[in-house]
Structure 1
Amino acid sequence: MTSALPAPSAPAPLDLTGDVAALTAALIDVDSVSGNELALADLVEGALRALPHLSVHRDGDSIIARTELGRSERVILAGHLDTVPLPTTPGSRGTVPSEWDGEILYGRGATDMKGGVAVQLALAAALTAPNRDLTFVFYDHEEVEGSKSGLGRLVRNSPELLGGDFAILLEPTDGTVEGGCNGTSRFRVTTRGLAAHSARAWMGENAIHAAAPVLARLAAHEPATVAVDGLEYRESLNAVRINGGIAGNVIPDTCEVEINYRFAPDKSVADAEAYVRALMDGFEIVRTDGAPGARPGLNHPAAAAFVAAVGAAPKPKYGWTDVARFSELGIPAVNFGPGDALLAHTDNEHVPAQAVRDCLDALRRWLAA
């Protein structure tokens, strides 16, 4: 007779008052791949509800915590709890649980973005009387399709809890303010032919060959750099996937090329679509996805004060982030967080402990001054 295996122990409660780098490690140790955020959301909610100066609201695996001090300004600090799937390459260090190598912390989410979440939690505990009212937002399902976004769900279900004058998304920026973000759109270009046996190819029309001009136009395209509110956003337009054919002995009658356009925040999704359609004139094209970018908003007084407190010149955000969701709500937003964004999603994802501490110190100085 075999004995039952012991049930796995529950994660220890989060310590929000110790070293923020150790808190980052504790967050990494709780696997929270998109769709599996429940355990981490429970820990975050429990830690926040233990803080009497905050009101706490939960929606699924997203949590909002707010001060209600009647300050003249409200700042939103936001971050997502989920990560991309764990690496499968043997010897990868960007996995779960976390691993220390001196003062470097390795593990899935170290940069994207459990270092930033740790900073949020440490601030939530430390700032009992901040100079601005604060809203802390922790949300699920950022690393998957936008329709599942926990932040999007909060916008739909509880917009009254997301009001504010300025928002900071603690995505990794190496401790530099990155204003706004590019927009993104995806398109499917389809070419059609006539199926035939590949031994009698002259009886058909090859749809993959017909896609060659699509690829040629994309290869020849020169992406623009667009100045928006003092920051220069680099655009990109690329084929990211191609699919065609059904067998090794059949001339394909259909080919699909997927295109991704990352466009500057001076354009709307409709503007971006018009641009790509003009480039692909003569081809069958359908837009399959689209999200607007966000202008930097650095001229807002709260944003200007924050940039001055950080002390480094702001940069543009080339990728799309959830600052765009705040921008749609009329709230100026920037990205500012610990870690190198180029390490996000990699097999050796890591963050220096000091980078997390420095991010916490910068925000604490600004919000406690």
Structure 2
Amino acid sequence: MMLDPLALTQALVAQKSINPPGDEAPIAQYLKGILEPAGFSCQVVTLGENRASLVARFGAGNKPALCLTGHMDTVPLGQAPWSRDPFGGQVEGDRLYGRGTSDMKGGLAVMVCSVVEAIKRHPQLELVLVITSDEEVGCQGAKLLWEQGHLDQKVGAILVCEPTGNLPDLGHKGSLWLEAICRGVTAHGSTPELGVNAVYLAAQKILVAKDLDLGPERHELYGRPTLNVGSFKGGLNINSVPDKASFTLDIRTLPSMSHQAVKDWVQQALGPEVELRWIIDAEAVEVDPKDPWIEECLGLLQARNQEPVPQRGGVYVTDASVLWRAYDRPPVMVLGPGDFSEAHKTDESCSVSKLYEAQEIYLEILERWARR
């Protein structure tokens, strides 16, 4: 009898893993308790207090493995009240509600259910599951796994189970987050002429950033690069001239763009009075649509849908930004049951029917991998 992806999604949603603080360790142990008895060799890697990732391997190791990956952490609930219990896993019609249902405990549940069934049918499979902590804040869990040498297996392809509505994304953009810091001179609020207001300087530089042109290049899968000012901080109290203000930049990059070069260009545009600091540096993942594995997967999806599958890339960032480089740039496909439009929303939900559809798709992908 196959594991039920709906029931497993509900069990994962019930375990809070909001990042920060994360608290993914109980989920890692819970999934280990499913995978290890099924035949996987499991390693729980500690990230910090009550934080851990899980690497699970199956096979003799004499052929390249298929890597399946997903993360356990979720974003916070937000300020708006939820109309349903965010950890209750309530089902209404075809919708399953709760934080992480789409991003991405649904995909994680389908992944685990699928591989447990697949190794029964195809014991010759070579698999590695990389189940990470701290993905939502810069893919830190995946980076730690790489730095500590846990991503040392030969991998032939990567299936990322992030939310795509069961339509494939071939790689994705990069993400460069920068903090821009402006400094001034403090003074009493009644004598602003004696100080230098850092908020005014930051406001001027935000307008410069707003008009920055990242160039005309357009990628056939990923579109154009983008820049957004995401947050602003300035001043400590009303009756003082602020001597420090900062804002953050979220730059989504193309595979051809060097993040160091982009940072240097932004620094030049903002001027020497602005200090730029790295926050997140996750480079783009580029995939060749003509790769044999990609073509095979697109073919099976087209046969299922009985219509052409659009070739597209993701505008988001996933742990593949780390894993792709750690595993020497194999083909990457992002494919999961969640709805990207539901990610990070109040009253987040996913389609129950897409959970089961994703399980059928994953089992077919795994069957074809076993034939290699």
What TM-score bracket applies, with the shorter chain setting the length?
0.7 to 0.9
Residue aligning to 2:338: 339
Residue aligning to 1:57: 43
Alpha-carbon distance change, 51 to 217 in structure 1, aligned in 2, over 3 angstroms: same
Structure 1 position 166, deviation (Å): 0.7
Structure 1 position 111, deviation (Å): 0.6
Residue aligning to 1:21: 6
Q: In the alignment, residue 128 of structure 2 is paired with which amino acid?
A: T
Match of 1:259 among 229, 249, 254: 249
Residue by residue over 1:96-130, the C-alpha shift from the partner in whole angstroms, topping out at 9 and shown as x without a partner, is 12111122100111011111111111112111217
Residue aligning to 1:10: none
- The alignment partner of 2:299 has SS state of helix
- The alignment partner of 2:300 has SS state of helix
Alpha-carbon distance change, 124 to 266 in structure 1, aligned in 2, over 3 angstroms: same
Q: How does 1:86-125 map to 2 (within 5 A)?
A: 86=77, 89-93=80-84, 95-125=86-116
CA distance in 2, matches of 1:90, 1:355: 27
Match of 2:314 among 313, 317, 332: 317
Residue aligning to 1:246: 236
- The alignment partner of 1:50 has SS state of helix
CA distance in 1, matches of 2:200, 2:292: 55
CA distance in 2, matches of 1:302, 1:211: 48
CA distance in 2, matches of 1:90, 1:160: 40
Residue aligning to 2:49: none
Residue aligning to 1:273: 263
Q: In the alignment, residue 358 of structure 1 is paired with which amino acid?
A: E
Match of 2:168 among 177, 186, 190: 177
CA distance in 2, matches of 1:110, 1:315: 23
CA distance in 2, matches of 1:236, 1:362: 33
Number of aligned positions between the proteins: 350
Matched, 1:213 2:204: yes
Q: How does 1:162-201 map to 2 (within 5 A)?
A: 162-201=153-192
Alpha-carbon distance change, 67 to 143 in structure 1, aligned in 2, over 3 angstroms: same
Structure 1 position 222, deviation (Å): 4.3
Match of 2:33 among 27, 40, 46: 46
The alignment's C-alpha RMSD in Å is: 2.5
Is residue 189–residue 283 contact of structure 1 (8 Å, CA) maintained in 2? Answer: no
CA distance in 2, matches of 1:231, 1:131: 34
- The alignment partner of 2:233 has SS state of strand
Alpha-carbon distance change, 160 to 253 in structure 1, aligned in 2, over 3 angstroms: closer
Q: In the alignment, residue 263 of structure 2 is paired with which amino acid?
A: E
Alpha-carbon distance change, 248 to 305 in structure 1, aligned in 2, over 3 angstroms: same
Q: In the alignment, residue 332 of structure 1 is paired with which amino acid?
A: P
The percentage of counterpart residues that share the same residue type is 26
Is residue 182–residue 275 contact of structure 2 (8 Å, CA) maintained in 1? Answer: no
CA distance in 2, matches of 1:126, 1:39: 23
Residue aligning to 1:361: 360
Alpha-carbon distance change, 41 to 72 in structure 1, aligned in 2, over 3 angstroms: closer
Is residue 236–residue 261 contact of structure 1 (8 Å, CA) maintained in 2? Answer: yes
Residue aligning to 2:306: none
Match of 2:135 among 132, 135, 142: 142
- The alignment partner of 1:234 has SS state of coil
Residue by residue over 1:295-351, the C-alpha shift from the partner in whole angstroms, topping out at 9 and shown as x without a partner, is 124343222222222221231111221111122121332211112112112111100
- The alignment partner of 1:46 has SS state of helix
CA distance in 2, matches of 1:138, 1:168: 12
Alpha-carbon distance change, 192 to 29 in structure 1, aligned in 2, over 3 angstroms: closer
- The alignment partner of 1:186 has SS state of strand
CA distance in 1, matches of 2:193, 2:53: 58
Q: Which runs of 5+ in 1 are unaligned?
A: 1-15
Is residue 63–residue 154 contact of structure 2 (8 Å, CA) maintained in 1? Answer: no
Alpha-carbon distance change, 159 to 304 in structure 1, aligned in 2, over 3 angstroms: farther
Q: Which runs of 5+ in 2 are unaligned?
A: 47-51, 303-308
Residue aligning to 2:350: 351
Is residue 209–residue 270 contact of structure 2 (8 Å, CA) maintained in 1? Answer: no
CA distance in 1, matches of 2:11, 2:244: 50
Is residue 287–residue 331 contact of structure 2 (8 Å, CA) maintained in 1? Answer: yes
Q: In the alignment, residue 18 of structure 2 is paired with which amino acid?
A: V
Residue aligning to 2:222: 232
CA distance in 2, matches of 1:221, 1:268: 17
- The alignment partner of 2:275 has SS state of strand
Structure 1 position 277, deviation (Å): 2.0
- The alignment partner of 1:199 has SS state of coil
- The alignment partner of 2:191 has SS state of helix
Alpha-carbon distance change, 219 to 89 in structure 1, aligned in 2, over 3 angstroms: closer
- The alignment partner of 1:211 has SS state of helix
- Range with bigger deviation, 102-111 or 281-290: 281-290
TM-score, normalization by structure 2: 0.85
